[in-house]
């Protein structure tokens, strides 16, 4: 009798782990299939919303000090001033058109810097920032960083550099509730992104590392 119970328990345990690994494998395959399909689809379809946008809206809703604001206007890369493209490349990722998604020299410099400084330095490329903003949640944990690297490889594989830049400039945060260069240009300078001067573009690019606490310089009135 005891032998039968022991055998039954072993079978149940074996069946449990069998089902567990089957479900786990199904989830892994499902994730990779979905991520590949979505990444490829976004080569042609504009991302409608990001996790950061949802998070900021929730934060605004439950904050007594912040206005609930959501400004987002998608524009094609042809309707964005080349000054803005040059500005973000020069301030955020000078090797954008050369690297394959990762600037390894910048990563090495950041690692060395962070060993001896309390204030850490990042080395994310525009491709990495795009992957993070479009597909993932804000944060610095290793799980998110690993997924960021994975999605960076996908968009560098499926998208052109032109498409990466277009998506980046349309989803990046430029202020509390302000997303994309068109909304930012109209909010700060009351003009279309197509008509930004280089100084205005440079000023907007400088707020990107900390958009909730920085604002671009405005033109002085004479």
First to last CA, the chain: 98
Mean pLDDT on 13-38: 89
What pLDDT, on the 0 to 100 scale, is given for residue 5?
60
Please provide the average confidence, as pLDDT, over all residues in the chain: 90
For residues 42 and 134, is the Cβ–Cβ distance under 8 A?
Answer: yes
Helical (H) or strand (E) element with 30:
helix 2-41
* 72 three-class SS: strand
pLDDT at 221: 47
- The full set of domain ranges for the chain reads 1-41, 46-206
User: Global pTM?
Assistant: 0.88
**What homologous superfamily does CATH list for 46-206?**
Biosynthetic peptidoglycan transglycosylase-like (1.10.3810.10)
**Contact of 215 with 101, CB cutoff 8 Å:** no
């Amino acid at each position: 009798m005891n032998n039968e119970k022991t055998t039954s328990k072993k079978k149940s345990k074996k069946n449990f782990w069998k089902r567990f690994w089957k479900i786990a494998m199904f989830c892994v395959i499902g994730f990779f299939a979905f991520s590949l399909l979505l990444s490829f689809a976004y080569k042609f379809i504009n991302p409608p919303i990001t996790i950061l946008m949802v998070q900021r809206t929730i934060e605004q809703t439950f904050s007594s000090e912040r206005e609930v604001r959501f400004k987002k206007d998608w524009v094609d890369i042809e309707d964005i001033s080349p000054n803005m493209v040059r500005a973000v490349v020069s301030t955020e990722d000078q090797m954008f058109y050369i690297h394959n998604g990762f600037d390894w020299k910048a990563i090495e410099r950041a690692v060395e810097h962070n060993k001896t400084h309390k204030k850490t330095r990042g080395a994310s490329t525009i491709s990495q920032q795009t992957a993070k903003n479009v597909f993932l949640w804000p944060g610095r944990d290793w799980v998110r960083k690993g997924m960021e690297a994975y999605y960076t490889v996908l968009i560098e594989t499926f998208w052109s550099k032109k498409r990466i830049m277009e998506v980046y400039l349309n989803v990046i945060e430029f202020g509390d509730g302000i997303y994309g260069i068109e909304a930012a240009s109209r909010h700060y300078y009351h003009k279309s992104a197509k008509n930004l001067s280089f100084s205005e573009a440079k000023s907007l690019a400088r707020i990107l590392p900390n958009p909730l606490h920085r604002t671009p310089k405005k033109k002085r009135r004479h």
